[in-house]
């Protein structure tokens, strides 16, 4: 039986750190910001590789509700906005 568990921004943030995603750095403008938005968790990921946080979280069993991606051609950075609504436990 599959169970969907609620998750928190703190739990998702810890998982991202264990996957080597760094916290957002205001000086370099690179990294992940994670915050709670009601029952969902929002992640904003800025980096030089396109869309990696959402795939890593899916691989770890998190339910990704939505992903929005963009890039900034003037500096080569990519942006990914991810909404997580829970985690699947088998």
pLDDT tens track for 4-16: 899 999 999 999 9
Tell me the C-alpha to C-alpha distance, in Å, between residue 16 and each of 2, 23, 28, 75.
23, 9, 19, 24
Q: What is the pLDDT of residue 74?
A: 67
pLDDT confidence bin for 81, thresholds 50/70/90: very high
CA–CA separation, 29 vs 64, rounded Å?
24
Tell me if residue 29 falls in helix, strand or coil.
coil
Q: What is the pLDDT of residue 73?
A: 62
Q: What is the pLDDT of residue 10?
A: 96
35-42 mean pLDDT:
96
Write down the domain spans for the chain: 3-89
22-41 mean pLDDT:
94
């Amino acid at each position: 039986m599959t169970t969907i568990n609620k998750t928190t921004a703190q739990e998702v943030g810890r998982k991202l750190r264990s996957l080597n995603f760094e916290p957002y750095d205001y000086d370099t403008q690179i990294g992940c910001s994670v915050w709670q938005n009601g029952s969902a968790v929002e992640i904003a990921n800025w980096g030089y590789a396109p869309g990696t946080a959402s795939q890593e979280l899916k691989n770890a069993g998190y339910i990704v509700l939505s992903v929005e991606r963009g890039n900034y051609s003037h500096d080569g950075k990519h942006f990914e906005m991810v909404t997580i609504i829970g985690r699947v436990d088998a």
